[in-house]
Structure 1
Amino acid sequence: MAGGVFVSEESYWGVNSWVFSWAVETLAERVASVPLAEQLREIEEHHLGSFALAQFPPEQRSELVAQIRLLPQVAEDTLDESEGRPHVIAWLQELADMVTAAEA
């Protein structure tokens, strides 16, 4: 299984399901907007497997983008040392970079 984020009409970030789940769960824990956190938890709980940034209203999208940009550092700070950890951080950095490029 895989999961992904439709960053824009031109950009899609696809990754294995556990990395997607970790990212969605982490975002849900970190966003201040309760409705946004609830939407993210629904995506995870129902195993929807993807979401599009465009599906969120502008204020929620801004908060989500800001938190996505922080995911690589959150992973660096919180994930246990493992052989796959550098790959996870690199995948999250790829998402953060895609989001930054899409917002430019």
Structure 2
Amino acid sequence: MSIARDMRTCPLLEKKKTRTPSGAEKEHWEKKKDIRLTVYKKNDMLKYGSERYNDASHVGLTYEKGIKAGKYKINYLGREMDVLECNPNGRLAVLILKEVDTDA
């Protein structure tokens, strides 16, 4: 299983806030750029002490270092995933991702 072979190009979405004519803030997602990313399903058999890791559904690996938790979302193969945590230390950045249910 090669990480480089599993990488796919997917859009990185950034959260933007705008003001409506009434003065309220509205959030929307804008495509920032395309990144190369590989995503693996998290092993649910292992339990860790971190609540963020327990909430996560997937783990991602990418060469992109500027991703911040809460500010970015990824659309990976048609599935939207929130970035819960990012560790940019090392050759690849490790992303803790949570799949978002968009049917609600």
Quick check: TM above 0.5? no
Q: TM-score range by the shorter chain?
A: under 0.3
TM-score w.r.t. the length of structure 1 is 0.27
- Larger gyration radius, structure 1 or structure 2: 2
Question: Which structure is higher in strand share?
Answer: 2
TM-score w.r.t. the length of structure 2 is 0.27
